[in-house]
Structure 1
Amino acid sequence: MNFYQKLGGLILGSRLRRLSEYFLSEVNKVYAEKGIPFDASWFSMFYLISKNEHISLIDLAEALEVSHSAISQLAKSLEQKGLLESYPSEHDGRKRLIRFTEQGRQLQEAVEPVWAELDQAMQELMHENEANTALLSSLMSVEQSFAQKSLSQRLLKR
């Protein structure tokens, strides 16, 4: 039994982070091998923007369930790379919207075939055995449990 298995739920966050880092690293190897200048950590934002003509940072943060600050930092980085542009909303000047630049749109078109390949590979992985098949529903269940009662509430109530 290895270190992670021995500690069980106590180290769940670290295991999920390690798995996430491994996953992102492997996908980045594919982008690099194909000569696509894309980072897997951009996926969620790129995907949502690709499905919307434009979207606000607030809407992105809410959809991805991350902080506005995190989304704002990533958007700023992608804007500096020439992939996104921001502009004021016609309906509410206080609201900033973002969309792809032409360079961003070209990159999005280049990564979509990789996304399709990744989706197929993940479908195959999820069906290799019962535990893999149950993984996504188990993650959803844990997320729902935390939405009802956060980990800090669970710890501080003891």
Structure 2
Amino acid sequence: MQSLEKMGYMALGSRFRRISELLYRQCDELYLSRGIPLQSRCFPLLQLLLPNEYQQNTQSLNELTENIGIESALSISELADALGLTHSAISQLSRKLEQQGWIQHTIDEADERRRLLFLSVKGLAVVKTLLPLWLWIEQAIIDIFKETRFGLLANIEQLEHALQEQSIKRRVANLERKKLQQEIQILAYDAQYDNAFYALNKAWLEKYFYLEEHDKEVLGCPQKYIIDAGGQIFFAQYQGDIIGTVALIPANGDQLELSKMAVDECYQGLGVGKILAKAAIDYYQQSTCQLLYLESNRKLVPAINLYHQLGFCEQPHPSAESIYQRADIYMVYQPK
């Protein structure tokens, strides 16, 4: 049977949990040996509810009054945010402590729906006993780190910051994007890809609009309406599959229209469209054509943003009316 130790980074969360459970269990054993019926999972909540001025000074707790606790009352939402736990988890934990009489609650005068939690006199008394013990526990853990010569706290802070800055989901997506972009191949027109050209565009158009008669003509016979007319079609191939396409359609003698760009839904958002568009722009720049333009729809926000990034600028339509019923924006390539 494979152990967690041999599972590498994939088991990191499980190993952290195992260490966490071990620390909880050993601290609970320590509390019980001192006659304190406390679960160590409650420590962060009790620590947050204790006023700052008392956290390192047991003498300040000699005269215990309820007012000491109320002064540091916090809502469940505030505790959840501070500890990075769910509202439900804090509610369950606080109910247990309230049943033991260690914490109490009051209603927020500004919002009667909010319960404010604070340490009771009994809870403050328990914390007074615990403060010296917590310092010894902290020192014991510091000694463990010295033995292992590993700056764990600093590394955990960096790990938490890195995860907050960019989630695992985003990081995996970026890795997939990078791999795809490294392996993708851009192919020029070949009649064997006619079916893919039609299918990709049909799926895209039917998702957002519908096939117009002009689309049906061009997609049904790309050789006649694009290639023989002096244009070009590019295809994005990944691991043997055609996953995207774009066309350059001749217009008005010395112009090219960037059109019929579509990407398989499974690969959208991975930068395939940008790679295809750049291939089309490179082709235009090496041609004798004087203008590269496109027509689109403003509701396609990601596509419009991409066109702006690539150097396309919005202009009035030269004919005042597009051949596409769906088009409401005309853009011309104007590299800086």
Does the alignment reach a TM-score above 0.5?
Answer: yes
**Equivalents in 1 of 2:148, 2:95: separation in Å?**
41
Partner of 2:10: 10
Q: Deviations over 1:32-81 (max 9, x none)?
A: 11111111010000100113621111111111111111111111221122
Query: In terms of mean alpha carbon deviation, does 134-143 or 85-94 score higher?
Result: 85-94
Partner of 1:120: 139
Partner of 1:135: 152
**Equivalents in 2 of 1:112, 1:55: separation in Å?**
20
User: Aligned-pair distance for 1:3?
Assistant: 2.3
Matched to 1:7, the amino acid is M
8 A Cα contact 1:38 1:107, kept in partner: no
1:48-59 mapped onto 2 (5 Å cutoff): 48-51=48-51, 53-59=72-78
**Equivalents in 2 of 1:150, 1:73: separation in Å?**
28
**Equivalents in 1 of 2:19, 2:8: separation in Å?**
15
1:62-73 mapped onto 2 (5 Å cutoff): 62-73=81-92
Partner of 2:222: none
Partner of 2:262: none
User: Aligned-pair distance for 1:156?
Assistant: 5.2
What SS does structure 1 have at the residue aligned with 2:105? strand
Matched to 2:80, the amino acid is A
Partner of 1:150: 167
Matched to 1:141, the amino acid is Q
Compare the two structures and name the one with the higher helix fraction.
1
Matched to 1:19, the amino acid is I
**Equivalents in 2 of 1:95, 1:115: separation in Å?**
31
TM-score (norm 2): 0.44
Partner of 1:86: 105
| 1:101 aligns with one of 120, 123, 126 | 120
User: Aligned-pair distance for 1:128?
Assistant: 2.2
**Equivalents in 2 of 1:20, 1:72: separation in Å?**
21
What SS does structure 1 have at the residue aligned with 2:38? coil
Matched to 1:70, the amino acid is A
TM-score (norm 1): 0.89
**Equivalents in 2 of 1:34, 1:16: separation in Å?**
27
**Equivalents in 1 of 2:154, 2:31: separation in Å?**
28
**Equivalents in 1 of 2:173, 2:128: separation in Å?**
47
**Equivalents in 1 of 2:34, 2:173: separation in Å?**
48
Identity %: 31
User: Aligned-pair distance for 1:136?
Assistant: 1.1
Number of residue pairs matched by the alignment: 155
**Equivalents in 1 of 2:43, 2:104: separation in Å?**
17
User: Aligned-pair distance for 1:17?
Assistant: 0.4
**Equivalents in 2 of 1:6, 1:109: separation in Å?**
44
What SS does structure 2 have at the residue aligned with 1:128? helix
Partner of 2:24: 24
**Equivalents in 1 of 2:156, 2:133: separation in Å?**
24
**Equivalents in 2 of 1:79, 1:156: separation in Å?**
44
**Equivalents in 2 of 1:39, 1:30: separation in Å?**
10
Matched to 1:137, the amino acid is A
**Equivalents in 2 of 1:145, 1:6: separation in Å?**
24
- Give unmatched runs, 5+ long, in structure 2: 52-70, 177-336
Matched to 2:109, the amino acid is E
User: Aligned-pair distance for 1:146?
Assistant: 0.8
